[in-house]
Amino acid sequence: MNEIASPRIARSVCPHDCPSTCALDVEVIDAHTIGRVRGAKDDPYTAGVICEKVARYAERIHHPNRLLHPMRRAGAKGEGKWQPITWDEAFEEIVARFRTIEDEFGPEAIWPYFYAGTMGHVHRDGIHRLRHARGYSRQYETICTGTAWPGYLAGTGWLTGTHTEQILESDCLVIWGTNPVHTQVNLMTHAMRARKERGTRIVVVDIYRTATMEQADMGLMIRPGSDGALAVAVMHVLLRENLADRDYMARFTDFGPDFEAHLATRTPEWASAITGLSVADIEDFARLVGTTPRTFFRLGYGFTRQRNGSTNMHAALSIPAMTGAWQHRGGGAFHTHGGAWALDKSLITAAELSDPNVRWLDMSEIGPVLTGDARALKNGGAVKALFIQNTNPMNVAPNQELVRAGFAREDLFTVVHEQFMTETADMADIVLPATMFLEHNDYYTRSGHSRVLFGPKVIEAPGEARSNFAVVGELSRRLGVEHPSLEISDREMVAETLRRSGYGELAEIEVTGFVDRALPDEKARFADGFAWPDGKYRFAPNWQGAADKKGYQWSCDPAILPRFADYWDVNEPTDEDHPFRLATSPARAFLNSTFTETPGSRKRHPEPVVFLRAEDAAELGIADGDAVTLGNQRGEVELTARFFEGIQRGVLIAEGIHANRSHRGGKGINTLIGSDPALPFGGAAFHDCSVWIRPSSQPK
Ligand SMILES: Nc1nc2c(c(=O)[nH]1)N[C@H]1C(S)=C(S)[C@@H](COP(=O)(O)OP(=O)(O)OC[C@H]3O[C@@H](n4cnc5c(=O)[nH]c(N)nc54)[C@H](O)[C@@H]3O)O[C@H]1N2
Ligand SMILES: Nc1nc2c(c(=O)[nH]1)N[C@H]1C(S)=C(S)[C@@H](COP(=O)(O)OP(=O)(O)OC[C@H]3O[C@@H](n4cnc5c(=O)[nH]c(N)nc54)[C@H](O)[C@@H]3O)O[C@H]1N2
Ligand code: SF4
Ligand SMILES: [Mo]
C-alpha cells in the first residue's frame, strides 16, 4: 500500500465521464474522510468552477450504501438476497467458473465488459490485460463515441481541433448538439467570459430549449436528426452570397464542381421543411458565420446519437472548412482532443497479448448478444460469463427488455465489480466492492482540453473495497497469467506509462499535477493542412480512411452512404402508431446513471419526467403532471408529463437516465431505445426513437 499524504487540501481530478475532467481541490479531513470539493482556481480550464454534483462528492464517497464486502447471490437472480464472502472465496469461485467455461465453451464465451465509470486509464483499461491474456471476447466500444468520432475523422482525418482557450478570441461561438450547462460546465465559463470581454455571439443548435440555449444570442431549435440539412443549407447560402472562402477551399479542401452542384439543390427552403426552421433563420445563421471569420464550432456528442449522426457531425464540421474559419485564432472547430495524447498504454492493456482472431462484440448490442442473436454474436457461441467493471448496462444500454432477459439467464455467470448495488449488480452472481478515485492512483486525459492530470490516492478505501487494477491483477494471477503489469502498483503503472509515453517523471509531474499536451496552435487548427496525405479536408467524407485509422467495423454497405456532406434520411420513422420523436437528453445532476444514488441529485431530479407541448398533450387528453406511458415495438415506460413550450410539436424529451426502479412499472427509459447499430460503424442512437404517448390511466 502506498503511503498516504494527508494535506488539508489535496489536488485531484474528477474521474467521471465528462469532457471537463476538472482539476479539484479536495478538503481532506482525516485518512478516511473528505469535506468540500472545489474546482481548482489555478487550472485555467477548470477556473475554479465545477458542477454541483461533484461539489457534493462527500455525499457519494461516504454514502451509507457503498458496497464494502464481496458477496455471493443467495436467492434467485435479481431477488436481492446476498451472502457475504471473503475475497479469497470470491476469487476461488470466479476462477473455478471461468476455467470450466473456458474448457467447455472456449475463452470467447467469457466477455469482460467495461466502460468509463472512471476515466482513469489504469483503472479503466487495465481490464484488457485479463481479456488479452486469456483470449476472452473483445469489446467494440461504440456506446458513446461510435457515431461522433467517425464523422469528425472522415473530414479532418484527425481527432483534434482549435484549443478551447481560444474561445476568448472568438467573435462567434456555435454550440452545436451539446448542452454544456448540463454536461460540461467549463465551456460555459469560457463562453460567458468571451461574451463579457469581447462581445462574442453565442449560437446554440439543439432540439429543445436547453439551459444552454437559454443563454444564447441565437437559438436554433431543429427537428431531431436534421442537422445535416441545416449544415448543407448554410453552405448553400455561403456559396450563393459569396461568403465562402474559395481560396482557402482550393488550398485546403477537396471542394470541386460536383460538390458545388450538389449544394445548389440544398436550398434553405428545402432545409426549412426538414429542420422546421424558417428560411430567414437559416439565412441569418449562414450570414453570421459567413461574415465572422473567428467563428468557433463546439461540436458535441448529443447530435450524433441519431442513426444519421455520423453524417450530421461531418456536415456541421464542413462549415468552417468552407468559411476558412480554421485560418484564424479563435476560429475552426473542436470536438475532442483525443487524437493528441500519443500515449503508450501497452503495459496497462497487455497489448502484445491481444489475438487478432478473437471476436469483437459490440457493447451497445449487449441485449442481442446475451439473448443469442447470431449476428450480434458474430456467428460464434453464446456468452456464458460476464466480468463487469465501470458500467451499469442494466440501466444505460439500449433495448432493455433484451438486456434484462439476457442478465436473467440462469446459465450466465455474472461478476460485477461496483461501488454501489446498481441494477446491474442486482443481477450478479458475485458482487465485488470497488474503490473510488480518491482511494487509488490514476492519471486522466481531458477530452475537452489538452491537459493530462494525475489523481493520487488521498484517503483509505472503506471496508474491503479494492481497486479495478488490483482485482483484475489478482484474478489474472489466479488464472495463471504472467505479465509485468501484475508485478507493480497502480502508482508505478501511472509512472511507467507516462515515462514510456515521453511525458516525463511522475515525481516531477505530481508537483503541479498535470502535463500539458497542447499541440502547437497551427497544428491543432490544421493550418498546415488536414491529416490526409494531400492535406485536404474532405467534403466527400473518407469513411474508409476513418475506419482504417480507428479500426471501425462497417455496420452497412459503404455504397449506401451519401457521397458528400448531406442530410441522410435513415432515422427511425414516425408513423400513425408512433407519431412522436423521443430524445433522452442528459440531466444536469446525474451523469449517465451515476449520482442517481446521491441525495442532492435526487432532490433536483425527484422523478422521471417527459417534456411535451401543451398542444400535443391537449389532443391526447394529458394534463400537466399526469402519469403517462410511452411505448413502441420495444416496450413501454411510465413517466410524469411536464408541459414545456421550449419544445416543438411532436417531440418528447426525457432528461436523464433514472434508475429503472424509479419509474412506475420498473421499466427505464432505455426500454424504448433501439440497439440496432447506427451507421456507418455502430453505436446507439439514444436520441433517435419513435414512440406513442398516452395517459397511463387510459387503456390501450
Ligand atoms: N450532467 C451530466 N453531464 C454529463 C452526462 C450526463 O448524463 N449528465 N453525460 C456525460 C457523457 S458520458 C457524455 S458522452 C457527455 C455528452 O455530452 P453532450 O455532448 O452534451 O451530448 P448529449 O448529452 O448526448 O446531448 C447533448 C444535447 O444534444 C441534443 N440533441 C439530441 N439530438 C439532437 C439532434 O438531432 N440535433 C441537435 N442539434 N441536438 C440534439 C440533446 O437534446 C442534448 O441537449 O456528457 C457527459 N456529462
Ligand atoms: N437513454 C440514454 N442512455 C444513455 C445515454 C443517453 O444519453 N441516453 N448516454 C450513453 C453514454 S454517452 C454513455 S458514455 C453510457 C455510460 O454508461 P455507463 O458507463 O454505465 O456510465 P454510468 O451510468 O455513469 O455508470 C458507471 C458505473 O461505474 C461505476 N464506477 C465508477 N468508478 C468505478 C471504479 O473505479 N471501479 C468500478 N468497478 N466501478 C466504478 C459507477 O458506480 C457506475 O455505476 O450511457 C449511455 N446511455
Ligand atoms: S462531472 Fe464534469 S463538470 Fe463535474 S466536476 Fe466532473 S469533470 Fe467537472
Ligand atoms: Mo458518454
How does DSSP assign 7-64, residue by residue?
-SEEEEE--SS-TT--EEEEEEEETTEEEEEEE-TTSTTTTT---HHHHTHHHHHT-T
The pLDDT, as a whole number, for residue 84 is: 98
Residue 205 CA, closest ligand 1 atom number:
38
Counting ligands in written order, the one closest to the CA of 683 is 2
Reading the block at residue 363, the C-alpha cell is 457493447
**Residue ranges in the chain whose pLDDT is less than 70:** 1-7
CA 17–ligand 4 middle distance (angstroms): 6
Contacts of 645 (CB under 8 A, 6+ apart): 613, 614
Helix or strand run (H / E) with residue 344: none
Beta sheet of 71-73, edge-to-edge order: 82-84, 71-73, 430-433, 413-418, 385-389, 110-114
Name the one residue in this structure whose C-alpha cell is 474508409.
544
Does any ligand 3 atom lie closer than 6 A to the CB of residue 50?
yes
Verify whether ligand 3 is closer than 6 Å to residue 188 (CB atom): no
Domain segments of the chain as ranges: 71-143+345-437+459-504, 148-335, 580-695
Kindly tell me the number of DSSP H helices and DSSP E strands found in the chain: 25, 25
Atom of ligand 2 nearest to the CA of 593: 23
The candidate with the shortest Cα–Cα distance to 330, out of 155, 199, 212, is 199
Q: Cis bond leading into 680, ω under 30°?
A: yes
Question: For residue 698, how far is its CA from the centre of ligand 2 (angstroms)?
Answer: 34
Out of 18, 56, 444, 598, mutate this one to test ligand 3's pocket (max ligand atoms within 8 Å of CB): namely 18
Return the pLDDT at 518.
87
Asked if 518 contacts 337 with a C-beta cutoff of 8 angstroms, the reply is: no
Tell me, using a 6 A CB cutoff, whether residue 49 lines ligand 3: no
Residues near ion ligand 4 (Cβ under 5 Å):
144
C-alpha 265, offset from chain centre: 34
CATH for the stretch 148-335: 3.40.228.10
Tens digit of each residue's pLDDT (9 = 90 or more) over 265-277 = 999 999 999 999 9
Which pLDDT belongs to residue 4?
Answer: 54
Nearest residue to 429 (alpha-carbon basis) of 123, 166, 98, 660: 98
Please tell me the distance between residue 335's alpha carbon and the centre of ligand 1 in angstroms.
13
Helix or strand or coil: residue 232? helix
Question: In whole angstroms, what is the distance from residue 198 CA to residue 207 CA?
Answer: 28
Is the beta carbon of 149 within 6 A of some atom in ligand 1?
Answer: no
What is residue 71's three-state secondary structure? strand
Question: Which CA distances in Å does 282 have to 175, 225, 310?
Answer: 16, 16, 21
Fold of the domain spanning 580-695 = Barwin-like endoglucanases (2.40.40)
Q: What is the rounded end-to-end Cα distance, in angstroms, of the chain?
A: 60
pLDDT of residue 700: 72
User: Going by C-beta distance under 8 Å and a sequence separation of 6 or more, which residues neighbour residue 161?
Assistant: 332, 333, 334, 335, 336, 337, 524, 525
Task: Give the pTM.
Answer: 0.97
Rounded Cα distance, 301 and 677, in Å? 16
**289 neighbors 237 (Cβ within 8 angstroms):** no
The fold for domain 71-143+345-437+459-504 equals Rossmann fold (3.40.50)
The pLDDT, as a whole number, for residue 1 is 43
Read out DSSP for 658-674?
--GGGSTTS--GGGSS-
Task: Give, to the nearest 10 degrees, the angle between helix 309-323 and helix 227-240.
Answer: 20
Is residue 201 within 8 A of residue 194, CB to CB? The reply is no
* C-alpha cell at position 452: 493530462
Angle at which helix 227-240 crosses helix 257-264, to 10 degrees, equals 110
Give the H/E segment covering residue 414: strand 413-418
Does any ligand 3 atom lie closer than 6 A to the CB of residue 22? yes
